[in-house]
Amino acid sequence: MPLVRAVLLASTLLVLPMSNALAQGDGGLAERRAIAAYSKDVWPPLERAIHESAGFPVPVTLDLKSLAPPGSAENYASDDYLRKPIIDPLIKALSAISSDDIGKQALKDRLTSIVITYEEASAPSSNYQEGVGFSGGVLTLNWKPFTNVDDLDPRVKAITTVLEANL
């Protein structure tokens, strides 16, 4: 049995990097240019707003390969792509948590980073709390960009609920 387990683990380790590379390709020139422009022009003020709402400069990682699929380059800078469905709810939830000294301190003590990603297989279409995780101080948001852009309050509630349960 241990030999079978070792062979399965080894084969999994060999397949995962290849499947990950296929699922998260770099895209074409248009995608790379659009992401570079987003990272330079759009993201810095949004990141500052996240820091201000948290009350401290919490590191934020955008998994740009998963958030910027090929064929959508013209949409990346649109407010409807990332800001409205993902960034705005995050800012509003962090602001609600940090609205008093107890919340500010809890965030500083327990929140070590934020990861924003999109994994198609596990991102919920509307039960947003299923796309929010908190483990080891890392808040993870796994929501599809450019969808249900007007669902601000349910997304804020999902983030707030998970944070309050873990802070």
- Tens-place pLDDT, residues 86-105: 999 999 999 999 999 999 99
Please name which of 88, 60, 94, 95 lies closest in space to residue 145, comparing C-alpha atoms. 88
Is 155 within 8 Å of 85 (Cβ atoms)? yes
Please name which of 49, 68, 47 lies closest in space to residue 59, comparing C-alpha atoms. 47
Alpha carbons 39 and 62: distance in angstroms, whole number: 10
- Tens-place pLDDT, residues 11-47: 333 333 322 322 334 578 898 899 899 999 999 999 9
Is 31 within 8 Å of 109 (Cβ atoms)? no
The model's pTM: 0.82
The tokens for 148 are: 């249900």
Core vs surface per residue 1-15: b (16+ CB within 10 A) or e: eeeeeeeeeeeeeee
pLDDT, position 144: 94
Is 149 within 8 Å of 84 (Cβ atoms)? yes
